[in-house]
Amino acid sequence: MALAVAAALSLIVGIGVFTLLPRDHEHFTSDGELEIGDVPREIDHIAWEWDTPEDHSIVTVMPGLAGPVVVMERGVIGLDGTTGGELWGYLSDLDGSDVSASVTPDGRSAVIAEIREGENRVSLLDSGTGEIQERYEYPLDSEPPSLLNLSDHDWIEARDGGIVARDLHSGGIAWEYLPERGCEIQALRGSNTFGDTADYSVATSGEHYVMAELCEEHREEGEPDAPRSPGNLVVLDAWTGEISWTVEDDLLLERETRSEIDVPYSAGINVSRDESALLAETTSGSTLFVPATGEVLHDDLRSLQRDEGPGRIIDFDDENVVVSERTPGSTGLPEFTNTRTGDGEILRRTSTEDPLSGDPFEYHRIRPAGSASYSLPLDSGVVTPGCVDECAERNIDETILFLPWEGKTPPRAIESEKVEAIVQSGRGVFVETPGSVVLYRPGSEGHLIGLA
């Protein structure tokens, strides 16, 4: 649903212009010392814009040491988050080349697996400079491994119903995990699976892998076509593959039962951006855990929401949760509230006297390194898609709104033709990086906009 805001909103437009580095070679690195910008506390203008090379489309954008790292179908480019200038690049323009890439959750390393001209290899690069730290041959088949499932130590692959971890620095097998007999790993809502090799998925952080398992005893206790089932929450140490902790029989698994086909169960599991907390849908509600120990920080975060209507969790850590809530019957923009989980005290909220409308998407963040959001809380407010004046009647987003906490300053609208093109697609997302908040559309042959 589109967001509307009265003409009293302040309109801010500002575009930084820079010269792109030449792309006459496949791998280039940054020269000189990096100047790393701060993560913005608020936004009020467009700081820079950047276009992908011709015939390269965006897969995802992840935060690196100095700014966004743009992962494309056939390469990776690291940008300066403050200026949008290209710091480094690793590109393949060869027909038939296939590339999979990602950034470690700590943001320090970019990992690139590629198949080209019969040569299969993996490269580990510094995410700030693009300098190659490690490079090795790897026994790839017809496609490179998916690197979405990545920790700070290894990446994991699906194998025979379990997972295999490969060391980032060598590609050798670091450890293997297979569920107990009679148990199966399930899919996670809002996540990518391992592609064609498995229909299950795993959440990751820098130090842990998190998965949902369904066991035979759970099937025996419930109805064969039940929409819900209890399951196990299993957390592995990413360095060793050993089980760090589990929650048995209390994870809530759900599935669609109106379809004629047998739809598998999936679980709601998310990792906070700072990796301090793990949120899982359990039989108790939205339960908050410490990833390293399994300590329960809060039994049900949804109990902190007001009674008159359901809210949506858009962000959280080990001490706070940010929720978007709408008054029943209202078509206005949901109110964003930042609540302390320990005692339920509302620390701050967005508010405005202007007639806003909209419906932000629910929070899904399976791995912090890919922490894109449809609505993004910052220190001083919330960034969300929106529209100005007449566009509300057409129910189309056309701009970006920054809604300050407590309404101490008026909401701000940031407009441009390219902003409009991204948000009108309904698929524009924000990612927080050093130097800027980046707006982009995954899967597009594309355009990035740096907000500051």
Residue pLDDT, tens place only, 193-244? 666 567 788 888 899 999 999 998 887 666 667 888 999 999 999 999 999 9
Pairing verdict, β 376-377 and 381-386:
antiparallel
Q: How far is CA 306 from CA 38, 268, 284, 350, 382, in A?
A: 34, 22, 18, 15, 20
Helix (H) or strand (E) holding 28: strand 27-28
**CB-based burial of residue 258 (10 Å sphere; 0-12 exposed, 13-18 middle, 19+ buried)?**
exposed
Confidence of residue 56 (pLDDT cuts 50, 70, 90): confident
Q: Give the count of beta carbons closer than 10 Å to the beta carbon of residue 120.
A: 15
Comparing 16 with 448, the larger pLDDT belongs to 448
162-195 confidence digits (pLDDT tens): 999 999 999 899 999 999 999 999 988 766 666 6
Q: What is the pLDDT of residues 69-127, one digit of tens each?
A: 998 888 899 999 999 999 999 987 655 567 788 899 899 999 998 876 667 788 999 99
| H helices present in 311-434, as ranges | 391-394, 417-424
Distances, alpha carbon 321 to alpha carbons 100, 311, 334, 335, 363, in Å: 33, 11, 15, 13, 11
- What's the token pair of residue 213? 């398992």
pLDDT of residue 21: 35
Q: Which residues contact 407 (CB under 8 A, 6 or more apart)?
A: 350, 351, 352, 353
CA 178 to chain CA centroid, Å, is 27
Three-state secondary structure string covering 271-315: ECCCCCCEEEEECCEEEEECCCCCCEEECCHHHHCCCCCCEEEEE
**Residue 412 in contact with residue 10, Cβ under 8 Å?**
yes
Indicate if the alpha-carbon torsion angle 452, 354, 364, 423 is positive or negative: negative
Length of the chain: 452
